[in-house]
Chains A and B, each alone.
Chain A
């Protein structure tokens, strides 16, 4: 990785920029996908990403036939597998990336919900409204049974207020602490009284596996006068959301979360102010904010390039897309989807309603060992179709000197840019076996490529996106 902060920023090349976009707006790309996007151009690619409906959806029927469990999601591991499968195979990468964004922001955990089916249903809701306006999204969120149960809103009634959802809606989901008073929290909670869910079939935990649906119980609703953020009225939840979405704090809050998720682990106040402006101008439109973000100079800057620690989901899904295993359903996939958990991101079961701590906090000794070993194992497997395709691309170059060999592999894996020291160490390592000759069918040379890919997967830079 080029030294940052010390010298003038360099202009990213076209292919670097496209790789960057497809890593951030999705889960990374194979070289073939990268070439196709380059042919289309940056802005057209952004526009396609922003319009998932232009690409075909996953054929779930076929999937359910091979993995009948996916349909019912009786166990949480199965619900996770079905989602990870979708992240790997989707042709609508930004939509799925936004599902992950909303899951991280509106962190709901099966630990309490105890209904994988309901968790999967929440994820499907996030997918349906992934790029909508924030008002619609908050409204859907406030009607989502898993969320209502997660934050105890079924206990929030006219007679006994439960502030859990009302508080988190303001603190963690829309405005952030310091932008409202305790009275606002109380009135917000009152407005959501009677917002609950009904079980379609009576169920007793832990067998709560029948689909729930939103229910409004007017007899439990506190219809009285409320004062919320300076506005007065006999507000219900919808009115509260109308007030929330137009707050300056909400624009800044969402802009910051999008910035941290898509651009860099360290916030840039100017960029956040800019995105917040787009939020209000566009009528709280997520798609408009993302368009502005991906086309902005701060996103297309070297400062943002490989400036984020990959989340475990990005790491696992990105690697699986690269190696191209599980092109069609076969046994063993459950183990792959659990890798995120081993690396510290237990999907559908975040540590708390605050979600996961990101950036540097993704890394500890245990998680790093898991990340390195998973990447090294997958990319070091010469039988993986994606690895075969990379070898075929290198073969076209003929004999490669150690520097060319290393640069070629770094290029095909991203392109990935690494610290000069990392590169020098890799070159020294491969130089011991001399130049690489892939021009004849030679299993040993193929193995050398897989070994180098595996070592690149072990680098620090490969943990970044």
Chain B
């Protein structure tokens, strides 16, 4: 019997700083790789093979089962035309899905608006980390921005009964429905000038924030799990995602980031640690969801603003192009997507991999096939979807 499909949910994990795609999905069967990477290379005997050509970075052992069980889509050669080697500009391009103009509206902000047009749920999108990534930024779209779930909320400088009382005062001060005697306020008594309007809007925003924080509080309280997460910052964030997800608060988009992948120097050690932390955190996260039968409606997108220079610099690698993205999830159709870029000198662009597929194809796949919303207005064009959903 067909069951009602649970609302699809997306977890985005941004690999900040420019992840080296070549040392992530390693083309160990290609001698050109070892020619180009005299130092910053993964030896053949350490690669976790996918096939005779490609293999995972050895730190990704915890993710390999996703591949083996067909729950991992690897999108190689992902990027956009005329690559920008600035971290921030390139991130903005990915955030706004607009490579050609400076834009401000985030693609996920637009998705959230489509999912919750009246902003009924203040928790439709939850971002873990301070400050909002531009991907989620769109006027009128509330996003809860959580530095640490355990301590998230207003007036966190106070504690205990003092904080309780202060929060009560806060809602009193921000609620415009009542006068100073506690009587309902008629429309006529409310301020109608522009400043009054701003203050009323701020009042509503404050109450939304408070409501969001109070609901998130219940997620922490209700959460019980036997899954042990590693003691890393990314595991902590993903545990937060699991807590909110498992509390069924209607959150459809989660966001978090980890880095820095900007490995100009001492790359081998840094990159290995980053992927170990990420892989183990993701392993724990999905184990947690599966234990509660809550993994079916989740996919996770991992992306980075660019890949890195093909030839290493003796200790690390410089900014490049042509990256790798991953989409993970129990309902994902695993496999290799996108064409792995050629390493032949003649095929490189300024010493960088040449992208083979536009990142907006991956976005469009997620938007149209996973969320069933129209992709075109969000990614600003029509892009061939991939088959991973």
Task: Check if A11 is an interface residue, CB within 8 A of chain B.
Answer: no
A293 interface contact, C-beta 8 A: no
Per-residue CB contact flags for chain B residues 83-122 toward chain A (1 = under 8 Å, else 0) read 0011111011000000000111000000000000000001
**Contact present for A368 and B157 (CB under 8 Å):** no
Q: Is B205 a contact partner of A370 (Cβ separation < 8 A)? A: no
CB distance from A181 to the nearest CB of B (A): 22
The answer to whether A307 touches B195, judged by C-beta atoms less than 8 angstroms apart, is yes
Does A352 lie within 8 Å of B157, measured CB to CB? no
Tell me how far the C-beta of B240 lies from the nearest C-beta in chain A, rounded to whole angstroms: 15
The answer to the question of B186 belonging to the interface, with a C-beta cut-off of 8 Å to chain A, is: no
Q: Which residues of A in the span 341-394 have a Cβ within 8 Å of any Cβ on B?
A: 341-342, 344, 346, 349, 351-354, 357, 359-361, 363-366, 368-370, 372-373, 376-377, 380-381
How close is B285's CB to chain A, nearest CB, in angstroms? 23
Whether A460 pairs with B130 at a CB distance below 8 angstroms is no
Q: Is A178 an interface residue (CB 8 A)?
A: no
Most buried by B among A306, A380, A455: A455
Known contacts: A4-B191, A5-B191, A460-B174. The answer to whether A363 contacts B143 by CB under 8 A is no
Contacts A5-B193, A112-B89, A353-B102; is A460 near B142 (CB within 8 Å)?
Answer: no
* Distance A109 CA – B180 CA, assembled complex (angstroms): 46
- Are B89 and A460 closer than 8 Å at their CB atoms? no
B145 touching A369, Cβ below 8 Å? yes
Tell me if B227 is interfacial: C-beta within 8 Å of chain A.
no
- A368 and B86 in contact, given A380-B157, A425-B169, A454-B158 (Cβ under 8 angstroms): no
Q: Contact at B143–A352, with CB atoms within 8 Å?
A: no
B32 at the interface (CB under 8 A from A): no
Please name the residue on chain A nearest to B127 by beta carbon. Answer: A366
**Of B86, B103, B192, which one neighbours A205 at CB under 8 angstroms?**
B86
Which chain A positions have C-beta within 8 A of B191?
3-6
Judge if A403 is at the interface, Cβ distance under 8 Å: no
In angstroms, Cα B92 to Cα A460, docked, is 32
Contact partner of A451 among B104, B132, B162, CB < 8 A? B162
Asked if B383 is an interface residue, CB under 8 A from chain A, the answer is no
Binds B, one of A23-31, A87-95, A322-330, A416-424: A416-424
Q: Which residues of B contact A352 (CB under 8 A)?
A: 102-104
> A16 an interface residue at 8 Å Cβ cutoff?
no
Whether B202 pairs with A363 at a CB distance below 8 angstroms is: yes
Q: Are A5 and B180 in contact (CB under 8 A)?
A: no
Asked if residues A206 and B85 are in contact (CB atoms below 8 Å), the reply is yes
| A372-B132 in contact (CB<8A) | no
A426 within 8 A of B: yes
Closest to A340 in B: B131
Q: How far is the CB of A205 from chain B (nearest CB, A)?
A: 6
Contact partners of B89 in chain A: CB under 8 A: 111-112
Determine if A48 is an interface residue (Cβ-Cβ < 8 Å): no
Which A residues are in CB contact (< 8 Å) with B201?
A: 360, 363
Known pairs A342-B130, A458-B154; A365 contacts B209 (CB<8 A) = yes
The answer to whether A111 and B155 have CB atoms under 8 Å apart is no
Taking a contact as CB atoms under 8 Å apart, the answer to whether B196 and A5 are in contact is yes
Considering the complex, give the chain B residue whose CB is closest to the CB of A461.
B199
Residue A114, interface by CB 8 Å: yes
In A93-135, the 8 Å CB interface with B consists of 109-112, 114
State the Cβ distance, B58 to closest chain A Cβ, in Å.
28
B179 on interface, CB distance cutoff 8 Å: yes
* A276 contacts the other chain (CB 8 A): no
B195-221 vs A, Cβ < 8 Å mask (1 yes, 0 no): 111110111011011001100000000
- Asked if A309 CB lies within 8 Å of chain B CBs, one says yes
Interface residue? B144 (CB, 8 A):
yes
Q: Looking across the interface, which residue of chain A has its beta carbon closest to that of B190?
A: A3
**A353 to B192 CA separation, bound complex (whole angstroms):** 33
A419 CA to B199 CA, complexed, in Å: 10
Q: Is B319 an interface residue (CB 8 A)?
A: yes
Answer yes or no: B346 CB below 8 A from chain A CBs. Answer: no
Q: A361-B139, A366-B144, A373-B155 are in contact. Are A1 and B199 (CB under 8 A)?
A: yes
Flag whether B81 is at the interface (Cβ < 8 A).
no
B85 CB contacts on chain A under 8 angstroms: 205-206
| Residues in chain B near residue A64, CB distance under 8 A | none
Distance between B341 CB and nearest chain A CB, rounded to angstroms: 21
Given known contacts A352-B104, A366-B132, A372-B154, A422 and B86 CB-to-CB distance under 8 angstroms:
no
Contacts of A363 in B (CB 8 A): 198, 201-202, 205
User: In the bound complex, how far is the Cα of B205 from the Cα of A306, in angstroms?
Assistant: 19
B155/A454 in contact, CB under 8 A: yes
**CB < 8 Å neighbour of B173 from A112, A344, A351, A421:** A421
Q: Would you give the 0/1 interface string for A151-186, flagging 1 where the beta carbon is closer than 8 Å to chain B?
A: 000000000000000000000000000000000000
Q: Is the CB of B198 within 8 A of A205?
A: no
- Asked if A459 CB lies within 8 Å of chain B CBs, one says yes
CB-based contact B169/A460 at 8 Å: no
User: B148 → chain A, closest Cβ, in Å?
Assistant: 12
Tell me the smallest distance from the CB of B201 to a CB of chain A, in Å.
6
Fill in one digit per residue for A426-462: 1 if any B CB lies within 8 Å of its CB, else 0.
1001001000000000000000000100110011110
Contacts of B174 in A (CB 8 A): 460
Q: Which residue of A lies closest to B188 (CB)?
A: A6
A365 touching B205 in the complex, CB below 8 Å, given contacts A373-B155, A420-B180 = yes
B180 pairs with A460, CB closer than 8 A: no
**Contact A376:B155 (CB < 8 A) given known A5-B196, A265-B198, A365-B205:** yes
CB of A266 within 8 Å of the partner chain: yes
- Asked if B134 lies at the interface with its beta carbon under 8 angstroms from chain A, I say yes
Partner of A206, one of B134, B145, B205, B318: B318
For B192, what are the chain A residues with a Cβ–Cβ distance below 8 Å? Answer: 5-6
Give the chain B neighbours of A349 by CB distance below 8 A: 88
Contacts of A368 in B (CB 8 A): 202, 205-206, 209
Q: Who on chain A is nearest to B166 by CB?
A: A455
The reply to whether the CB of A311 lies closer than 8 angstroms to some CB of chain B is no
Chain B positions 125-159 with a Cβ under 8 Å from a chain A Cβ: 127, 130-132, 134, 137, 139, 142-145, 153-158
Bound complex: CA A458 to CA B158 (Å): 12
Q: A245-277 vs B: 1/0 string, CB under 8 Å?
A: 000000000000000000011100000000000
B126 to chain A, nearest CB (A): 10
**Which residue from chain A places its CB closest to the CB of B201 in the assembled complex?**
A360
- Those of B285-329 within 8 Å (CB) of chain A: 318-319
B229 lies within 8 A of chain A by Cβ: no
Q: Is B172 an interface residue (CB 8 A)?
A: yes
B184 at the interface (CB under 8 A from A): no
14 new A-B contacts, CB < 8 A, other than A111-B91, A352-B103, A376-B155, are A6-B191, A111-B86, A111-B92, A206-B86, A266-B195, A344-B131, A353-B102, A365-B209, A368-B205, A373-B156, A380-B157, A380-B158, A421-B179, A464-B199
Question: Nearest 6 A-B pairs (CB), nearest first?
Answer: A366-B145, A111-B88, A5-B193, A424-B180, A421-B180, A377-B157
Residues of A within 8 A of B (CB): 1, 3-6, 109-112, 114, 205-206, 264-266, 306-307, 309, 341-342, 344, 346, 349, 351-354, 357, 359-361, 363-366, 368-370, 372-373, 376-377, 380-381, 419-426, 429, 432, 451, 454-455, 458-461, 463-464
User: Which residues of B come within 8 Å of A, CB atoms?
Assistant: 85-89, 91-92, 102-104, 122, 127, 130-132, 134, 137, 139, 142-145, 153-158, 162, 165-166, 169-170, 172-174, 178-180, 191-199, 201-203, 205-206, 208-209, 212-213, 318-319
Q: List 10 A-B contacts (CB under 8 A).
A: A346-B131, A354-B104, A357-B139, A360-B197, A363-B198, A365-B212, A366-B132, A369-B145, A459-B173, A460-B203
